[in-house]
Amino acid sequence: MARSSPSDGPSGFAIIDKEPGWTSHDVVARARKLLNTRKIGHSGTLDPSATGVLVLGVGRGTRLLRFITELPKNYEATFRLGIETSTLDADGEVTATHDMGQVSLAEVRSAATRFEGAIEQIPPMVSAIKIDGKRLHELAREGKEVKREPRPVTIHELAISEGDKASDFRMSVRCSSGTYIRTLAADIGAALGGGAHIRDLRRTAIGPFTESVATPLDDISLIPLADGLIGRPHIAVAGAVSVAVRHGKVLEVGVLGASGVGPWAVVDVDGELLAVYEPHKQGTAKAAVVVSPAST
């Protein structure tokens, strides 16, 4: 269990293996009851039908979630060619059908190569993105469709294999934050002259946090704040530098002991997280988030 002061309740990160049928909000609500604290957030929405890794920030961890959310993510999914749906997955209503029964694995793989690297995606209507203060999925439930601007994402790795049923194909994806796997499947279907939708979807990793370390929600436990930033370079400080970090002061990079491009997780001699620092100007670094009280 992560250490925390009595005044602010538990703090840390929980690596959850989300079950199907739960929204990310449902997971947060249940975690609040289990941990008896209101201060919980998550690292990135998973569709209700999707399963897999969801990182929760608890207490002071909520202030650090952006450093988790921006990490690359891994997914395993099955998509079916020939059927388009209103939600781009199996939960939606069928909106179009295509005769794609003769499409080969080689053709699917060839079409998929168009979506490797830096691409642009149009977010699906059933998503949590806000436009004019309202989430797209709320507008979709009202039967409305609005214009969505393409957003840049990166597909780092994309592998396609045969599925268990005719017209089903498996894909393994490593991608940037903000990538919609439902949209990727639909775009591959469109590139083949028809359409497609996701049949099942599992997030297998967020950065260094893989499904092997994720636990069922009811077995929730916390890891320390510093361990939640395991994918970031760590700097240990003591003495006057530690005091300055606790106050969030701008420091010279050399004084901080930082190297590389950052951001840097700054810890004390016991390994407890004090702050996250980012590059500033003229060879200095500034605090992005300070999590340790200045008085300690």
CATH of the domain at 249: 2.30.130.10
Question: Residue 142 above 80 pLDDT?
Answer: no
Mean pLDDT computed over 100-121: 97
Q: Is residue 162 part of a domain?
A: yes
pLDDT band at 149 (very low <50, low <70, confident <90, very high): confident
Q: Is residue 261 part of a domain?
A: yes
pLDDT value at residue 6: 43
Q: Is residue 89 part of a domain?
A: yes
Q: Is residue 1 part of a domain?
A: no
State the chain's mean pLDDT as an integer: 90
114 in the same domain as 85: yes
110 in the same domain as 47: no
Selected residue with higher pLDDT from 215 and 294 = 215
Per the CB < 8 A criterion, the answer to whether 229 and 276 are in contact is yes
Q: Is residue 2 part of a domain?
A: no
Nearest to 210 by CA among 68, 74, 77, 78: 74
Q: Is residue 66 part of a domain?
A: yes
179 in the same domain as 62: no
For residue 88, which phi and psi values (nearest 5 degrees)?
A: 70, 10
Question: Residue 153 above 50 pLDDT?
Answer: yes
Cα distances (angstroms) measured from residue 293 to each of 20, 199, 246: 39, 47, 6
214 in the same domain as 261: no
Question: Residue 123 above 90 pLDDT?
Answer: no
Round to whole Å and give the CA distance between 197 and 77. 10
Nearest to 96 by CA among 190, 6, 229, 29: 190
**What would the two tokens of residue 112 be?**
């998929």
Query: 63: domain range?
Result: 12-71+208-228
86 in the same domain as 185: yes
Q: How many domains does the chain have?
A: 3
Active-site residue 47, yes or no? yes
Q: Is residue 295 part of a domain?
A: no
pLDDT band at 282 (very low <50, low <70, confident <90, very high): confident
274 in the same domain as 246: yes
Q: Report pLDDT digits (tens) over 45-60.
A: 898 889 999 999 999 9
Q: State if pTM tops 0.85.
A: yes
Round to whole Å and give the CA distance between 91 and 220. 28
Which candidate in 47, 99, 227, 270 is catalytic?
47
216 in the same domain as 180: no
Number of H-type helices and E-type strands within the chain: 8, 18
pLDDT value at residue 107: 98
SS3 state of residue 273: strand
102 in the same domain as 183: yes
CATH of the domain at 19: 3.30.2350.10
Mean pLDDT computed over 136-158: 75
